[in-house]
Amino acid sequence: MKPRPVIAIDGPAGAGKSTVARMVCQRTGLAMLDTGAMYRGIAWAAHRDKLDVADAGLMTRLANEVDLQFQGIPARLVVDGVDVGDEIRTLEIGQDASRLSEHSGVRQALVAQQQRIIEAGGFVLEGRDVTTVVAPKAELKIFLTASVEERGRRRWEESKARGVTDTLPMVIKDVISRDYRDYTRADSPLMLAEDAVIIESFGLTPEAVVDRIMELLLKRTSV
């Protein structure tokens, strides 16, 4: 029996990776692994324990000690037995997750967990290094992107829907800051994998993006 595929969706903050990944899971029946949520989970735990996310040693130890699990459909992150839900989706947690993701020890700990999870196949994973570091042998690699303004607007709309009061300029500034950290960090910077397919999501509905991914998957897995 042919192993179930791994689909890796990479790209910058606010490109629509999470939404598209969830929809691809619904279409394919594959499980979802939200790698970004795992970094947010560590940031949430750091807030809980009142730890400094700038301290590489503390964050590395935390990443190796905290129990991260995904439960339910759609999958929700559970940190040390606590369903953190939308608590990890605030601007503050997102900023701290981006900061602690610069620590090599944290990245190594979480990448090792992620690779163990997807080893048997059957996953859609999204993040900012999944096509180059976490799943370089994925059957299909997508680099999903859009302009800074468009990505900021999307994040702002998502925040408003959750009742968060961040302003649009605040969110765009955060997207720019996270882009800089993602592209310039020493360990596993955001890069375009040579065999990734670039999809520009501006002007496309999530459904249209998923249709494109499904077409690509059919071609890759039917060979």
Digit-coded pLDDT (tens) for 73-132: 677 899 999 999 889 988 899 989 989 988 999 999 999 999 998 998 999 999 888 999
* Residues above pLDDT 70, as percent of the chain: 97
Determine the 3-state secondary structure of 199 from DSSP.
strand
* DSSP 8-state assignment for residue 168: H
Going along the chain, which residue ranges are E strands? 6-10, 31-34, 68-71, 76-79, 82-83, 123-126, 140-145, 197-200
Alpha-carbon gap, residue 41 to 59, rounded angstroms? 12
Pairing mode, if any, of strands 82-83 and 76-79? antiparallel
- The band of 2, judged by pLDDT with boundaries at 50, 70 and 90, is low
pLDDT in tens, 24-42: 999 999 988 989 899 999 9
Is position 1 within any domain?
no
Quote the pTM value.
Answer: 0.78
Per the structure, the complete domain to which residue 162 belongs is given by 6-221
* Residues above pLDDT 90, as percent of the chain: 52
Is position 40 within any domain?
yes
Alpha-carbon gap, residue 157 to 127, rounded angstroms? 20
Q: Is pLDDT at 50 greater than 90 in this prediction?
A: yes
Determine the 3-state secondary structure of 33 from DSSP.
strand
Domain count, the chain: 1
Is position 81 within any domain?
yes
* Positive/negative CA dihedral, 64, 66, 69, 74: negative
Side-chain half-sphere CA neighbours of 102 within 13 A: 18
Exposed (0-12), middle (13-18) or buried (19+): which is 24, by Cβ within 10 Å?
Answer: buried
Residue with tokens 């179930």: 4
- Per-chain mean pLDDT for the chain: 89
Is position 137 within any domain?
yes
Is position 181 within any domain?
yes
What lies within 8 Å, CB to CB, of 198 at 6+ separation is 143, 145, 192
pLDDT in tens, 157-198: 887 887 777 888 888 888 888 888 777 777 777 788 889 999
Task: Find, among 43, 54, 51, the residue nearest to 77 by Cα.
Answer: 43
- The band of 222, judged by pLDDT with boundaries at 50, 70 and 90, is low
Q: What pLDDT sits at residue 223?
A: 42
Name which residue leads in pLDDT, 143 or 14. Answer: 143
Determine the 3-state secondary structure of 203 from DSSP.
coil
Q: What average pLDDT does this structure show over 209-219?
A: 94
CA angle (111, 113, 114) in 5-degree steps? 65
Is position 191 within any domain?
yes
CATH of the domain at 86: 3.40.50.300
Alpha-carbon gap, residue 216 to 211, rounded angstroms? 9
